[in-house]
Structure 1
Amino acid sequence: MTWTVGLSNLVLAVYGFTLIIGLPANILAFYTFFQKVRQQSTPMDVLLLSLTISDLIFLFFLPFRMVEAANMKWTLPYFLCPLSGLIFFSTIYNSTFLLTAISVERYLGVAFPIKYKLKRKPRNAVIASVIFWVVSMAHCSIVYIMQYQNYFNPNITDPSTRNTCYEEFSDEQLKILLPVRLELSIVFFCIPFLICCFCYINCICILSRLSKVHAKKRYRAIGMALGTLLVFVICFMPFSITHVEGYFGGYSANWRKYALLTSTLNACLDPFIFYFSSSALRETFKKVLQELVRWLLPPCCRSALCCPLFNCGKSEERTQISDDNIR
């Protein structure tokens, strides 16, 4: 796709919004989950921390893409092109695996609260997170293969002399790339999405039948489920559709850059899902909000700020099902 001024401004706006909202929110989430893992970790805490780290790595590499969009061509050292592409895509795909693992963790905790609580171990979540990283980066290594294919062929233009990054492909490259993209859409979107749908729909059905579960906790569980499914539909589905279209059409879809913008938004939407997932994060958000309001108010009004506005000291009603499983 050829860069235009309109496309450049759109990409910069979306990437800038993602960076401004996502970076502080994920840093706050990282601090919260890191403290929880240090004190008394659960598999859910480990998965949420892994997802936060993945989003932060994505956000740290996002400025490389913003520079490309601002100049409407690749002007940075060329070795950063495949490196940023590898990190950019692997963190996006890694997020789908981690969100799926979180949905499975919640389903098992709600469907089998006693049996699963006795067997769940944080170590298994750590192993799963490492496997997710290895699988996603192994698949996305196709970026390096495409960028340096036929590197020593004198009849092929040296990729380091181009002003594009992972955009122009020969027919020979497309024969390799398009089937890999189709696999990516199946492995990193279709299968995780179906698993999430199964887990969260069953969670909602189970919770709706439990009268002893507090309404607030039930609503949070439903919000968590709907939020995750919306992330899949809004953030990951469009980019996966471009893979399917490109495979059956035999070309690289022209609207890939637009679809990739929605995938970028995942980094700033995840913290809002975390809010429904962790009571510790909700408390951290409340404390930060309270301090921010106190800082913005005039000194004479700070003492009048009442604690009930932030539900300070208000404990939630306990239920037979652990809050870790349904919140």
Structure 2
Amino acid sequence: MAASTNSLWASLCNSMPFEDSRILLVVCYSIVFALGLPANCFTTWLTFVQIQKKNVLAIYIFGLSLCELMYLSTLPLWAVYVQNKHKWEMGSMACKLTGYIFFCNIYISILLLCCISIDRYVAVVYALESKGTRQQRTAIFITFILFSIVLVIHCPVFILQDGEQTSNRTTCFETLPLNLQLAYFNLARFLIGFAIPCTILIFTNHRIFQSTEISSSLGKRQKAKVKYLAIAIITIFLICFAPYHLVLLIRSINFLLHQKDSCSFEHHIYSTSAAFLCLSTANSVADPIIYVLASEHARKDFYTSLTKWRYQSPINTSLKLKNSKESQEAAQTSENQNFTTLSNEQ
């Protein structure tokens, strides 16, 4: 009886409802890639322009955009993997690198959202005290340290079990059921990568709201701008990252409590987990919204940059040269005609 039960649980783990979420994941990855790539490219360029104008907040948003572009580059691989019925055919190292980028993107994004909130908190709550103390050098140093810490912490991804090898499928970072190593790793991710940043975001943005309400130096429009940015950061964080991390927590606790029959639970929660994975991926499209809300002249910066690009583009340069040449030829023809007319009169 025990043997047949174990066999049933094993078959559940080997027959996950991958097909149920295939279309959802492929469509999600495709849309996020199509929208996120141009949006983050523009955000990267525009924040770079703001960095040259000594904007401190632009440093964090620039880092956020670079991080998203790095992750977006892996989405086609994930889409192919899911479309191929969760069969990874690009080698173990490619799987590990793609998973490494995925994990790093999540936690760099979360920590940079914290940096943006803390920067706004200091600038709004301690407006007078922070004048002259918020410097780009500090923001660059903090961003560099955050990137370095997250990249180093996730190096164990290269030695963790990256999936399951069955008779007809090699998965990528879909170890089902979990093992003890992954369960504890997920608990650490929830606590350090989600719970602590969540506390920081709630505290800083709550204080920002309070200070904005009683501020007499901010106009109505400025107050609205500050509030919208705070709301956007909290909303992006809760929608994109909370469901994903709650599933991580639930899966890990369930495995630690019911190791022998965890396959049944994994089978039932898989489709929900896939939907929440889509939400975490949507973060790559949502982050450019932060730039729009953080910048006083986002639309103006966009059109200015677009105009400069069109003016300096090779096609436009070619047209200008052609028009210039035609103008010179027309002027020369007119001059020759005038000279001929003058000669005839003489």
Bigger Rg, which one = 2
Match 1:167 to one of 161, 174, 189: 174
Structure 1 residue 13 displacement after superposition: 1.1
Q: Is the 8 A contact 2:162 2:174 kept in 1?
A: no
Aligned to 2:187: 182
Matching residue's letter, 1:23: L
C-alpha contact 1:41 1:122 (8 A) present in aligned 2: yes
1:194 positional shift: 1.1
Does residue 1:257 correspond to 2:264, yes or no?
A: no
Say whether 1:9 aligns with 2:16.
no
Match of 1:31 in 2: 45
TM-score (normalised: structure 1): 0.79
Partner of 2:110: 96
Report what 1:222 is aligned to.
227
Q: TM-score, normalized by length of structure 2?
A: 0.74
Q: How do 1:110-259 and structure 2 match up within 5 A?
A: 110-147=124-161, 163-169=170-176, 174-250=179-255, 254=270, 255-259=272-276
Contact preservation (8 Å) 1:29, 1:281: no
Give the alignment's Cα RMSD to 1 decimal. 2.5
Q: Contact 1:235 / 1:262 at 8 angstroms: preserved in 2?
A: yes
Does residue 271 (structure 1) correspond to residue 288 (structure 2)? The answer is yes
**Whole-Å separation in 2 of the counterparts to 1:115 and 1:105:** 13
Partner AA of 1:257 in structure 2: A
Code of the aligned partner of 2:210: C
Q: Which residue in 2 is equivalent to 1:298? A: none
Matched residue pairs, number? 280
Q: Does 1:51 align with 2:64?
A: yes
Amino acid corresponding to residue 91 of structure 2 in structure 1? P
SS at match of 1:32: helix
Identity %: 25
Q: Matched residues in 2 for 1:64 and 1:49: separation?
A: 25
Aligned equivalents of 2:216 and 2:149: distance in 1?
A: 41
Q: Which amino acid aligns with 2:288?
A: P
- Offset at residue 248 of structure 1 (A): 1.4
Paired with 1:18 and 1:62, the residues of 2 have a C-alpha distance of: 8
Counterpart residue identity of residue 231, structure 1: I
- Matched AA of 1:167: E
- Residue identity matched to 2:294: S
Partner of 1:18 in structure 2?
32
The structural deviation recorded for 1:168 is 2.4
Deviation of 1:258 (Å): 2.3
d(CA) in 2 for partners of 1:99, 1:136: 14
Find the counterpart in structure 2 of residue 65 from structure 1: 78
Paired with 2:159 and 2:17, the residues of 1 have a C-alpha distance of 24
Q: Which amino acid in structure 1 is aligned with residue 24 of structure 2?
A: L
Partners in 2 of 1:31 and 1:289 — Cα distance? Answer: 11
Q: Which runs of 5+ in 2 are unaligned?
A: 1-12, 256-261, 309-346
Where structure 1 has 5 or more consecutive residues not aligned to the other structure, the ranges are 150-156, 292-327
Structure 1 residue 102: Cα displacement: 0.5
